[in-house]
């Protein structure tokens, strides 16, 4: 890592130019080739998949994309077949048929098709077929259709005209992904500036993340030509990439600034930052990528593209943090420090960094009351996770759009005029081989009309060759209703098998509800395997890194808790509808089937990040002192600031994507923001340290046989001025012997920066220093980088030795308020 950082620093102009050229080249290639995203949820072998294939082969006119124009007259405005209304709407439909991009328009007038007029004659609809699939349509084409039909209503009081369908949805993308991105980045910039006090240092993490994410965003567009990639994959990648990209750069910049404050030259500080924190970033990024690529075990083409796209984004943000960021650090030089910090460095010389303020006091508080705080954390997580028990997977459609959208109003008008199931009819298709099959199939509609939950059934229609038949069934309930899913199951398990008896006829059920039910069933059946693989991979990495059985077990439990509680928040908002309309996210509905898989992979990866940054510092202190209480207290005090500031940035970025106008992306944004908030502020800085205090030395237990078999890996390489001293063989440190006697003064600091010898403080002096600490949680969050030993150089005492007299503070300059004060 140090060699890579040195090369990037010495050739900073080349590195910056290469990244900018790569971004420009990939973006240009993506613009020239266009996008090829696909939301194909079909899973080969399922009934809905077979229906889709047969429709495309035998009834191609039914397989294309179409939109629906709906008009409704008020009670005092007459009916839809009144002469004035009919004349205006018929003229508008003819004008729509002549518009570019429109293949045909089929309405209720002229052909005597009364089925397109509701029973009360106040609602009617027409079908518009476009020349291209909805994904390839331009917003302008659909907007012309909508404006044309709405102009017909301008002179008729009480006439309302709306439009529904995938094409109409293009006109409603009021939210902007770039607006969401700008808001999230803006909040992150504020947090970084409060932490750093330097505009140059604030811009570095943001610039690094934007270049890495921008390159990945364009690359995902190219990826869509090589494999199936969902249309929400680029925004999901941007959401994840901005969050982790800014955080990863934050960790490295924080370590670099610490080196500058200790008096290191710019290049040496940057090299050490990449050599130490850079290794942790690689470990964390690799964990996130492994969790995302764990989706490949499901062997679903729809999710494969999402997994590769998100992992590609994380990989590029890690690469930018390790190469582009050091070049930028060399470019800005000492401006990584604020003017006040540079002035203080020039006047007073290098200074020791200490964990002080709110984080230090919190670490002591957790040590004093671990049982109470652990109980509070468990109770909070349990309450938030309760809604997860009612999680229901299914489709969200335009009935979940905001109430003021044209697609939502068209959906509601059709449901009121023709029944709630009209928006999601079921399609039954059967292969016909012989007279017996034909007779059974043509008699099937009469049987279906007597089934509970069926509102209407069309007559059987045969293909030109007579070897395939299709029947349309309109349920009596909405597509999202559990009753509709129950109807699909009843048709497949009971009704259709009885109709097929004595024939070779095989009838399959398709349609929106059937397709999503099939997709959800496959996801649920494979979810245990997926979660098992992700948990096993994460636990194995932690076992190797920290050489403990307890650490990975606790991490797995904490990750599951974070996932369950975040799902609870998503269910409460999106499925129960608590505040969904107020947030502009539409009304309540089921959760998308693929959401659990993607969120589990992302959350396990992000949770592992915080676990690594927190426990690596605790492990370092444990190796040095063999005192669990000291290790947990010092580790929490010195890393919680960076973890909390990183969490604030992630929460801001994720929450901002609620404004994207996309319900699916909003689900991811709220779910991930809730998970990060709970993980950082409840699990990692409260429950994990409390449990580690309660477990004591058992945290670090590892069977001797396993100890000999496991290879040794290091999450963070030891910085010359930081880290636990190694033993002669570079492995575990040599035993430290008996604890230092009470009141012992630590040995003087050795290393490149001479520091004054610390002196013990009385209880009164320590309390006064604590009361006078003015650093806020945000402004002082980034005082130390993960894994640092509070600015000590080699040989310095870095934690309270066992047996230190209560109230004394060791390893710090006089007057410092620090986490190293022992608990009375």
CATH of the domain at 78: 3.30.70.1130
Q: How confident is the model at residue 776 (pLDDT cuts 50, 70, 90)?
A: very low
Is a pLDDT exceeding 70 seen at residue 135? no
Question: Which of 323, 353, 383 is where one domain is finished?
Answer: 353
> Rounded to whole angstroms, how far apart are CA atoms 39 and 395?
13
- Specify if 527 maps to a domain: no
Please check whether residues 220 and 349 belong to one and the same domain.
Answer: yes
Q: What is the mean pLDDT of residues 320-337?
A: 93
Is a pLDDT exceeding 60 seen at residue 746? no
Q: What is the 3-state secondary structure (H, E, C) of 601-670?
A: HHHHHHHHHHHHHHHHHHHHHHHHHCCHHHHHHHHHHHHHHHHHHHHHHHHHHHHHHHHHCCHHHHHHHH
Is a pLDDT exceeding 50 seen at residue 728? no
Q: If you compute the radius of gyration of the chain from its CA atoms, what whole number of angstroms results?
A: 32
pLDDT on residue 113: 65
Q: How confident is the model at residue 64 (pLDDT cuts 50, 70, 90)?
A: low
Is a pLDDT exceeding 70 seen at residue 703? yes
pLDDT on residue 353: 60
**For 308-327, how does the pLDDT look when each residue is reduced to its tens digit (9 = 90+)?**
999 999 999 999 999 999 99
Q: What is the mean pLDDT of residues 454-483?
A: 90
pLDDT on residue 21: 96
CA dihedral 796, 801, 807, 813 (to 10 degrees): 0
> Rounded to whole angstroms, how far apart are CA atoms 81 and 72?
11
- Specify if 226 maps to a domain: yes
Please check whether residues 109 and 255 belong to one and the same domain.
Answer: no
Q: How confident is the model at residue 17 (pLDDT cuts 50, 70, 90)?
A: very high
Please check whether residues 100 and 239 belong to one and the same domain.
Answer: no
Please state at what angle helix 199-223 crosses helix 12-33, rounded to 10 degrees.
Answer: 40
**Which segment, 55-69, 208-222, 272-286, 389-403, is predicted with the most confidence on average?**
208-222
pLDDT on residue 581: 78
Q: What is the mean pLDDT of residues 430-442?
A: 90
Mean of pLDDT over the chain: 80
Q: 614 and 322 in contact (C-beta within 8 Å)?
A: no
Burial class (CB in 10 A: 0-12, 13-18, 19+), 451: middle
Where helices occur in 730-774 by DSSP H, the ranges are 763-771
> Rounded to whole angstroms, how far apart are CA atoms 763 and 746?
18
Where helices occur in 369-462 by DSSP H, the ranges are 370-385, 406-418, 435-449
pLDDT on residue 736: 35
Q: Which residues of 626-635 are buried (b: 16+ CB within 10 A; e: fewer)?
A: bbbbbbbbbb
Q: What is the mean pLDDT of residues 762-773?
A: 37
Please check whether residues 325 and 232 belong to one and the same domain.
Answer: yes
- Specify if 758 maps to a domain: no
Backbone CA torsion sign across 718, 719, 725, 728: positive
Question: Which of 334, 353, 372 is where one domain is finished?
Answer: 353
Is a pLDDT exceeding 70 seen at residue 772? no
Is a pLDDT exceeding 70 seen at residue 294? yes
Backbone CA torsion sign across 52, 55, 61, 67: negative
Q: What is the DSSP string of 74-108?
A: -GGG--TTSHHHHHHHHHHHHHHHTSTTEEEEE-S
Q: What is the mean pLDDT of residues 266-276?
A: 91
Please check whether residues 296 and 230 belong to one and the same domain.
Answer: yes
CATH number of the domain residue 343 falls in: 1.20.1640.10
The number of distinct structural domains making up the chain is 2
Least confident of 305-309, 337-341, 542-546, 767-771: 767-771
Please check whether residues 1 and 86 belong to one and the same domain.
Answer: no
- Residue of 341 and 662 predicted with greater confidence: 341
Please check whether residues 165 and 90 belong to one and the same domain.
Answer: yes
**For 147-190, how does the pLDDT look when each residue is reduced to its tens digit (9 = 90+)?**
998 887 777 888 999 998 878 887 776 555 567 778 888 888 99
φ, ψ for residue 14 (rounded to 5)? -65, -45
Q: How confident is the model at residue 762 (pLDDT cuts 50, 70, 90)?
A: very low
> Rounded to whole angstroms, how far apart are CA atoms 571 and 596?
11
- Specify if 248 maps to a domain: yes
Q: What is the mean pLDDT of residues 482-498?
A: 93
> Rounded to whole angstroms, how far apart are CA atoms 614 and 636?
7
Which of 813, 719, 570, 814 shows the shortest CA–CA distance to 252?
719
Burial class (CB in 10 A: 0-12, 13-18, 19+), 453: middle
- Specify if 798 maps to a domain: no
Q: How confident is the model at residue 823 (pLDDT cuts 50, 70, 90)?
A: very low
Q: 514 and 455 in contact (C-beta within 8 Å)?
A: no
pLDDT on residue 206: 93
pLDDT on residue 65: 67
Strand, helix or coil at 163?
strand
Q: Name residue 473's beta-bridge partners.
A: 426, 457
Least confident of 104-108, 154-158, 733-737: 733-737
φ, ψ for residue 248 (rounded to 5)? -60, -45
Element (H, E) at 323: helix 301-332
Distant-in-sequence, close-in-space partners of 294: CB < 8 Å, separation ≥ 6 = 307, 530, 533, 534, 537, 601
DSSP state of 581: T
CA dihedral 81, 84, 89, 92 (to 10 degrees): 160
Q: In the chain, pLDDT over 90 holds for what percent of residues?
A: 32
Which residue matches tokens 């808001």? 183
pLDDT on residue 792: 36
> Rounded to whole angstroms, how far apart are CA atoms 595 and 230?
13
pLDDT on residue 630: 92
∠ CA 268-541-597, rounded to 5°:
115
**For 350-369, how does the pLDDT look when each residue is reduced to its tens digit (9 = 90+)?**
876 666 678 888 999 999 99
Is a pLDDT exceeding 90 seen at residue 302? no
Q: How confident is the model at residue 19 (pLDDT cuts 50, 70, 90)?
A: very high
**For 704-714, how does the pLDDT look when each residue is reduced to its tens digit (9 = 90+)?**
888 888 887 76
**For 196-223, how does the pLDDT look when each residue is reduced to its tens digit (9 = 90+)?**
888 999 999 999 999 999 999 999 999 9
Least confident of 268-272, 320-324, 404-408: 404-408
Element (H, E) at 124: strand 123-130
With left for phi above 0 and alpha for psi between -120 and 50, is residue 723 left, alpha or beta? left
Please check whether residues 337 and 207 belong to one and the same domain.
Answer: yes
- Residue of 770 and 420 predicted with greater confidence: 420
Please check whether residues 253 and 320 belong to one and the same domain.
Answer: yes
Please check whether residues 218 and 349 belong to one and the same domain.
Answer: yes
pLDDT on residue 276: 84
- Specify if 3 maps to a domain: yes
- Specify if 280 maps to a domain: yes
Which of 184, 174, 238, 182 shows the shortest CA–CA distance to 656?
184
Least confident of 88-92, 304-308, 535-539, 606-610: 606-610
Domain that holds residue 30: 1-34+197-353
Please check whether residues 136 and 227 belong to one and the same domain.
Answer: no
Verdict on whether the full-model pTM lies above 0.95? no
Q: How confident is the model at residue 385 (pLDDT cuts 50, 70, 90)?
A: very high
Question: Which of 322, 353, 384 is where one domain is finished?
Answer: 353
What are the angstrom distances between the C-alpha of 622 and each of 416, 439, 472, 699, 798?
Answer: 67, 79, 68, 10, 11
**Which segment, 58-72, 664-678, 792-806, is predicted with the most confidence on average?**
664-678
Please check whether residues 9 and 91 belong to one and the same domain.
Answer: no
- Specify if 91 maps to a domain: yes
């Amino acid at each position: 890592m140090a060699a890579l950082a040195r090369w990037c620093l010495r050739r900073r102009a080349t590195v910056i130019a290469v990244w900018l050229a790569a971004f420009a080249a990939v973006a240009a290639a993506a613009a020239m080739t266009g996008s090829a995203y696909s939301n194909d949820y079909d899973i080969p072998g399922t009934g809905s998949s077979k229906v889709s294939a047969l429709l495309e082969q035998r009834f191609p006119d039914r397989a294309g994309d179409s939109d629906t124009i709906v008009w409704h007259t008020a009670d005092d405005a007459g009916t839809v077949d009144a002469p004035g209304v009919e004349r205006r709407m018929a003229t508008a439909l003819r004008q729509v048929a002549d518009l570019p991009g429109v293949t045909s328009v089929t309405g209720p007038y002229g052909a005597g098709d009364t089925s397109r007029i509701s029973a009360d004659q106040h609602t009617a609809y027409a079908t518009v077929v476009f020349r291209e699939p909805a994904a390839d349509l331009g917003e302008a084409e659909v907007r012309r259709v909508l404006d044309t039909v709405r102009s017909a209503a301008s002179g008729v009081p009480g006439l309302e005209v709306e439009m529904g369908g995938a094409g109409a949805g293009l006109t409603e993308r009021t939210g902007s992904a770039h607006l969401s991105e700008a808001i999230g980045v803006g909040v992150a910039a504020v947090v970084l500036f409060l932490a750093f006090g330097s505009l140059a240092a604030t811009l570095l993490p943001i610039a690094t993340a934007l270049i890495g994410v921008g390159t990945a965003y364009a690359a995902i567009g190219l990826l869509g030509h090589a494999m199936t990639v969902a249309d929400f994959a680029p925004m999901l990648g941007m959401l994840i990439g901005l969050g982790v990209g800014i955080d990863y750069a934050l960790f490295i910049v924080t370590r670099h600034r610490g080196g500058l404050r200790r008096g290191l030259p710019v290049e040496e500080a940057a090299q050490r930052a990449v050599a130490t924190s850079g290794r942790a970033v690689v470990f964390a990024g690799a964990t996130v990528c492994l969790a995302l690529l764990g989706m490949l075990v499901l062997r679903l083409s729809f999710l494969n593209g999402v997994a590769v796209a998100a992992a590609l984004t994380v990989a590029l943000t890690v690469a930018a943090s390790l190469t582009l960021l050091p070049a930028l650090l060399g470019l800005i030089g000492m401006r990584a420090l604020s003017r006040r910090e540079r002035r203080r460095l020039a006047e007073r010389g290098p200074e020791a960094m200490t964990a002080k303020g709110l984080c230090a006091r919190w670490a002591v508080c957790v040590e004093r009351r671990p049982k109470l705080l652990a109980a509070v954390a468990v109770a909070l997580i349990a309450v938030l996770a309760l809604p997860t028990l009612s999680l229901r997977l299914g489709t969200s459609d335009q009935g979940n759009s905001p109430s003021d959208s044209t697609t939502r109003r068209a959906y509601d008008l059709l449901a009121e005029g023709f029944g709630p199931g009209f928006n999601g009819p079921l399609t039954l298709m059967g292969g016909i081989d012989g007279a017996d099959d034909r007779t059974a199939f043509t008699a099937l509609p009469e049987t279906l009309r007597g089934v509970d939950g069926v509102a209407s059934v069309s007559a059987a229609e045969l293909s030109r060759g007579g070897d395939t038949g299709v029947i349309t069934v309109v349920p009596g309930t909405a597509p999202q209703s559990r009753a509709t899913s129950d109807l699909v199951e009843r048709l497949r398990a009971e009704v259709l098998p009885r109709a097929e008896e004595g024939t070779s006829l095989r009838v399959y059920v398709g349609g929106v509800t059937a397709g999503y039910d099939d997709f959800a069933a496959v996801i649920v059946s494979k979810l245990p395997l997926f979660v098992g693989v992700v948990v096993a991979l994460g636990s194995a990495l932690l076992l190797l890194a920290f050489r403990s059985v307890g650490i990975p077990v606790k991490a797995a439990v904490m990750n599951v808790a974070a996932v369950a509680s975040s799902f609870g928040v998503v269910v409460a908002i999106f499925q129960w509808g608590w505040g969904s309309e107020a947030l502009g996210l539409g009304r309540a509905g089921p959760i998308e089937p693929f959401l659990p898989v993607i969120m589990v992979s992302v959350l396990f990866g992000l949770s592992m990040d915080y676990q690594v940054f927190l426990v690596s510092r605790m492990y370092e202190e444990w190796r040095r002192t063999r005192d669990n209480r000291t290790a947990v207290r010092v580790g929490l005090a010195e890393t919680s600031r960076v973890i909390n500031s990183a969490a604030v940035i992630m929460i801001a970025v994720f929450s901002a994507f609620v404004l994207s106008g996309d319900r699916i992306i909003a689900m991811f944004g709220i779910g991930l923001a809730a998970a990060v908030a709970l993980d950082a502020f409840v699990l990692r800085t409260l429950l994990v340290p409390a449990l580690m205090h309660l477990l004591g030395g058992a945290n670090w237990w590892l069977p001797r046989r396993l100890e000999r078999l496991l290879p040794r890996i290091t999450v963070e390489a030891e910085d010359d001025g930081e880290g636990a001293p190694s033993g002669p063989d570079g492995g575990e440190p040599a035993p430290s012997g008996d604890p230092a006697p009470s009141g012992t003064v630590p040995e003087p600091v050795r290393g490149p920066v001479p520091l004054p010898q610390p002196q013990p403080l009385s209880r009164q002096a320590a309390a006064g220093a604590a009361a006078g600490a003015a650093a806020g949680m945000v402004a002082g969050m980034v005082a130390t980088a993960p894994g640092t030993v509070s600015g000590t150089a080699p040989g310095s005492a870095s934690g309270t030795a066992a047996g230190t007299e209560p109230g004394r503070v060791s390893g710090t300059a006089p007057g410092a308020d620090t986490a190293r004060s022992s608990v009375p």
